[in-house]
A and B are shown apart, each in its own frame.
Chain A
Amino acid sequence: MKKTFLLMILISLSVNLLYSELNISGVNECKYVNSNRIIEHRSYFSDKFQLQAQYNNFRASFKYDFYHPKFGKFILINEDMSDAALEDQLNTEENENYLDEYYLQYESDFWFAQIGIFEAVVGSGIIMHNFYDDDFETDSRLIGGYVNPVYDNWQIQLFGGLMKSDNLDPAFEDEYDQVGAFDTDVNITDQISVGGSYVLHKEIIDVEDDEYNNRTIYAGKLSYSSSLVDLQTEYSSSKDDEDLEGTAIYSNLTSYLGKFTLMGAYKNYENFNVRISDLPMVNHSGQQLEHSWDSGKDEEGFMGEIRYLPNYENELVVNYAEGWNNNFKVRLSNLYTEFKHDFDNWSFKAEVETLEQINKEDANRWYQEITPTLTFDFLVNENPVLIKTEYQYKEVDKITGSHSHYEPRLQTDVAIGNYSLSIAVENQIGNSDESEDGDDGEFWIGGELATTIFNNTDVRLFYGKEKGGIVCRNGVCKNQAEFDGLRLTLTTTF
């Protein structure tokens, strides 16, 4: 009894000592999906649990994912498939549970270090950007170590790790590429900084012989920042064991001239279509040069933007971009215009975006879309209401024929107290043979109800059909894949 009492006191003391410095938090995302995609009422359940503890300068975290089974957002199925082929595809959706992420970090005034699974960035992404994107199910995170001393006028990044191979051959399932990098930035003055980087990417190409293709990257960066002008420019050069040489140039200049902001950007990428690079697309809509064109393989382009803000109430934006490959057979042009007026209790925004892509190099395809959009945002008895209307026109011309159609869309979001409701209706007028489009007269109707319970749990219930892309509902934006069915998401932070 005496020992128990002593132990209790000891524990109590330790807890009290820890209390002032220890911070434990986390998030749990629980999702139920009932999908009507080709086969009706297929159920999926997932739970993602993340816990982290911070004590003085240290932070430790882990994330565990549980899928029963995993919902394949981008699984390649369609109505024309045979039952056997459909079943084969759906069988790839298996029950899974695994430790998705774990790390231990140390952070002081001048040092940051970590071991475990982490994301890494060098420059604007042309040199290197290893990351995890849940929306697109892409994962190039590293498992390894990272050190980052940061002082007033300089900083260094030094890291190395393993990156899961993206080779789809089953033999590569448990294989890893190796990545190492050294990156430094020096502030020459308060306004000018320069930097240099070296990256080595060893891509596994033969499992049996443990053979790698070594690709080395050297890069230089320059940036200038003042109240009038911002300049960011990067040059990167690569060479691999097969003597394939690559270059990437990205430059961005913005000047702030009173009520006007002028921006110009330029890109030139050759043989930089590699997994560890996340290249700026240099157009407003963030589109790759062409649907089937490998980003970074061979492309050049520019973007210009004029932004006029005469006062806090009005904004006018005109953005234009052109992109092309070496022989001009693959091209892109993108124009975006926006006018926004903010009244005291409501706002109005008009946008028009046109996108044109041509590929006469390897696909003989021409594509155009024009999207005018009007958005009204106002209050009714202190309750926010948003009405958004789109009337998108799409036209495709390719070897198999030409198609054009309209996709009118109306979205209304209303919030009353703790509840928000968003309903969107989209129709298709005209036929298309593109897999992502529908048939003439087809409707996509979907609604989401959102609320918060217990102060720390967000509940979102969606039912209906929606097209993919960036979807903003009830004041929250997500990149969604095309969906048909019911989706219930509970996100609890603690």
Chain B
Amino acid sequence: MKNIITIFLIMLLAVQLIALEKAGDFKLENIEGKQVKLSDFQKEGLVILDFWATWCVPCKNGLPKLNELHEKYDSVNVIAINTDKPRKKSAAISHIKSNKFKFQTLFDPKKVVQKQFNITSIPHTIIIDQDGMIIYDHTGYQRGDEKHYEEVIIKWLKEQVQKEEPKLESKISDEMDIKETKPKLESNITSESDIKDKIPTELEQKETEQSGH
């Protein structure tokens, strides 16, 4: 019996360790007063959660940089979660709208999501992948931190390209099979290079843009 309990506890601990980097879903009100869910954005790629407040200068310094990342990468969604007290909500809305930030701004007046993500200090930035795994977690903002965020994004995009390659090969192979069995459709089949050209080459575009700057 003692052994069973020990094994159970070890397994429980293992589960905790395995599950420790997963982000749970949540729903909050956005700047237009609509309820939005984290999972809606995860479908599109990476999500950068940024916890900020109007009284926090480093938080406000980091927002334009996050907006740049949001606009630069199609598969990256920035969600800025405002942690101000409700009495400062209008100041937060004014800050976002006057700066014309394009990312989503959500409000967490009851601190439900701050507690969910164990936020004890702001600014706090978390990057979540499509599977809900937390791949980056950082407290504070100092000039240049956005470069670390971008490194994480580029690494993730590279991984996506690598994941896409076997799928692509299999797709090409399937199409080649079709070509052999159905010669009438030959004119409709694209070449390997054509298919490769059609794959989202966002990463390459961004790298070119970066080198251009």
Q: Interface of A with B (CB < 8 Å)?
A: 4, 7-8, 11-12, 15, 18-19, 22-27, 29, 50, 52, 54, 59, 61, 105, 107, 109, 112, 118-121, 123-126, 129, 131, 150, 152, 187, 190, 193, 223, 225, 230, 232, 252, 254, 256, 261, 263, 265, 278-281, 286, 305, 307, 309, 312, 342, 346-347, 377-379, 382-384, 386, 413, 415, 420, 450, 456, 458, 470, 472, 474-478, 491, 493-494
> How would residues 10 to 52 of chain B score, 1 for a CB under 8 Å from any chain A CB and 0 otherwise?
0110011011101110110001111101000000000000000
Question: Are A379 and B143 in contact, CB atoms less than 8 angstroms apart?
Answer: yes
Secondary structure call for the A interface: strand
Interface residues of B in 95-130 (CB under 8 A from A): 97-99, 109-112, 115-118, 120-123
Tell me if B200 is interfacial: C-beta within 8 Å of chain A. Answer: no
Contact bitstring B129-155, A, C-beta under 8 A = 1, else 0: 000000001011111110000000000
Contact between B33 and A261, CB atoms less than 8 A apart: no
- Give Cα A187–Cα B27 distance, bound, in whole angstroms: 18
Do B56 and A477 touch across chains, with their CB atoms under 8 A apart? Answer: yes
Is there a chain A Cβ closer than 8 Å to B179's Cβ?
Answer: no
Distance between Cα atoms of A113 and B122 in the complex (Å): 27
A residues in contact with B87, CB < 8 Å = 124-126, 129, 278-281
Flag if A384 contacts B85 (CB, 8 Å): no
Assess whether A475 is in contact with B141, with CB atoms less than 8 Å apart.
yes
Chain A residue numbers with a CB within 8 Å of B90 are 124, 230, 232, 252, 254, 263, 265
Task: Tell me whether A19 and B19 are in contact in the complex, defined as CB-CB below 8 angstroms, given that A193-B33, A278-B87 are known contacts.
Answer: yes
Interface residues of B (CB under 8 A from A): 3-4, 7-8, 11-12, 15-16, 18-20, 22-24, 26-27, 31-35, 37, 53, 55-59, 61, 64, 85-90, 93-94, 97-99, 109-112, 115-118, 120-123, 137, 139-145
A475 CA to B138 CA in the complex, in Å? 11
Query: What residue of chain A has the Cβ atom nearest to residue B12's Cβ?
Result: A15
Bound CA–CA A18/B12 (angstroms): 11
Could you list 17 further interchain pairs (A-B, Cβ under 8 angstroms) beyond the known A150-B35, A187-B33, A456-B137?
A11-B11, A23-B19, A25-B20, A54-B116, A61-B115, A119-B111, A131-B85, A190-B32, A223-B33, A254-B97, A263-B94, A280-B87, A307-B98, A347-B61, A377-B61, A474-B140, A491-B120
Q: How far is the CB of A142 from chain B (nearest CB, A)?
A: 11
Assess whether A25 is in contact with B118, with CB atoms less than 8 Å apart. Answer: yes
Determine which residue in B22, B56, B85, B110 has the highest number of CB atoms from chain A within 10 A of its CB, and name it.
Answer: B110
7 A-B pairs with least C-beta separation: A475-B140, A27-B118, A261-B98, A280-B87, A384-B142, A384-B143, A475-B142
Which of A109, A121, A256, A312 counts the most chain B CB atoms within 10 A? A121
A285 to nearest B CB, angstroms?
A: 10
The distance from the CB of A5 to the nearest CB of chain B, in whole angstroms, is: 10
Are B116 and A59 within 8 A (Cβ)? yes
Partner of A477, one of B15, B57, B98, B142: B57
